[in-house]
Amino acid sequence: MELALILTVIVVALSFDYTNGFHDAANAIATSVSTRALTPRAALLMAASMNLIGAFLGTGVAETVGSGIIVAPTGDSGLLVVLAALVGAIVWNLITWWFGLPSSSSHALIGGLVGAAIASANTVQWMGIFEKVVIPMVLSPIVGFLLAFLVMLAIQWIFRRANPGRVNRGFRMAQTFSAAAMALGHGLQDAQKTMGVITLALVVGQYQTGFEVQWWVIVLAATALAAGTYAGGWRIMRTLGRRIVHLDPPMGFAAESVAASVLYTTAFAYHAPISTTQTITSAVIGVGSTKRLSAVRWGVAGNIVTAWVLTIPMAGLAAAICYGLLHLLPGLRSL
């Protein structure tokens, strides 16, 4: 039973990673596609490649997710908690993807872990969640918005006398690099969350001690995320690239560059699992606000913020329900 459960958890974790990829593909490429800096298929191929590379650049976030969110019991009962958490996160990812809302896969996973732990009467590390999840969750969109606003103002001032057509052509080329940097940051952040959950399952299942991420876990997580990214998330791409604010190439470059910088800083300096979705969306709103406040479709932005607020509790609820349903399956009732 334990071997079957550990294999099931790994498969479901990689399935979550795949949904993370197609759910969050818009994070890296929506701005470049909307400004026509890249064609959709070329952008997806670039994003998938950079996601794959980014996943190999660190494991600090993975260790935070694996050891800093919940304390799961060892054996089959602990594996069931991890499995319920993953299923709950996948359910919320699919719901928000269907409605085209760029919610956070990262927070869906964290919400799933918390919901499954509560449902199973296990320990939730609330202080770790506050320090590594809640504070970055609040600060990263604010920082992304403010930095993007200031960077866009600087670009407007520097190129105030330049030919608009030439400026747009130059920034359209520059967006190739800023989109690649964003995709690299997405791989650096989001692949590690799946690595952390798989490592947690291995520790709980007593297949390893300590939360050091094994090389084969990195390879599997990187590949699943890249494959999901290449599959694309067109519903969310339309929301992020067109429905919030109409972007031009300088605005797209500013938003992507700022978002990538925030992702790198939080991953390398703080090992904090922040939302790439929140970071790029707030940066898009920031650059859009430099035109005029009415340039941002605040109704759409409000729907996105609502999805952000609901993600952790709703994914947690879905995971708690999944935990109860799993106990109805033959062979799992005694766990």
Question: What are the residues whose beta carbons fall under 8 Å from the beta carbon of 298, sequence distance 6 or more?
Answer: none
Interior/surface letters 135-173, b for 16+ CB within 10 angstroms, e for the rest: ebbeebbebbbebbbebbeebbeebeeeeeeebbebbbe
pLDDT of residue 151: 97
Burial class (CB in 10 A: 0-12, 13-18, 19+), 122: middle
pLDDT of residue 277: 80
Rounded CA separation 183/54 (Å): 8
pLDDT in tens, 189-243: 999 999 999 999 999 999 998 899 999 999 999 999 999 888 876 655 655 555 5
Q: What six digits make up the tokens of 168?
A: 């747009």
Rounded CA separation 277/24 (Å): 7
pLDDT of residue 332: 67
Angle at 301 between CA 299 and CA 305, to 5 degrees: 115
- Amino acid present at 49: S
Kindly list the domain boundaries of the chain, sorted by start residue.
1-327
Closest of 281, 290, 275, 294 to residue 255, by C-alpha: 281
Angle at 64 between CA 61 and CA 69, to 5 degrees: 135
Indicate whether this model's pTM tops 0.85. yes
- Amino acid present at 22: F
Question: What are the residues whose beta carbons fall under 8 Å from the beta carbon of 170, sequence distance 6 or more?
Answer: 249
Rounded CA separation 165/197 (Å): 48
pLDDT of residue 99: 78
Specify whether the CB–CB gap between 229 and 25 falls below 8 A: yes
pLDDT in tens, 87-114: 999 999 888 878 777 678 889 999 999 9
**pLDDT tens for the chain, residues 1 to 335:** 678 899 999 999 999 999 888 777 666 677 787 778 888 788 888 888 999 999 999 999 999 999 999 999 999 899 999 999 999 999 998 888 787 776 788 899 999 999 999 999 999 999 989 998 999 988 998 999 999 999 999 999 999 999 999 999 999 999 989 989 999 998 999 999 999 999 999 999 999 988 999 999 999 999 999 998 888 766 556 555 555 667 889 999 999 999 999 999 999 998 999 888 888 888 988 998 888 766 667 776 777 778 778 999 999 999 999 999 988 877 666 66
- Amino acid present at 282: S
pLDDT of residue 334: 61
SS3 71: strand
Specify whether the CB–CB gap between 231 and 24 falls below 8 A: no
Phi-psi region of 272 (alpha: psi -120 to 50; beta: other; left: phi over 0): beta
Q: What six digits make up the tokens of 80?
A: 């069931």
pLDDT of residue 219: 96
| DSSP secondary structure of 99-155 | TT----HHHHHHHHHHHHHHHTT-EE-HHHHIIIIIHHHHHHHHHHHHHHHHHHHHH
Burial class (CB in 10 A: 0-12, 13-18, 19+), 215: exposed
Angle at 239 between CA 168 and CA 148, to 5 degrees: 50
pLDDT of residue 29: 75
Question: What are the residues whose beta carbons fall under 8 Å from the beta carbon of 15, sequence distance 6 or more?
Answer: 86, 90, 224
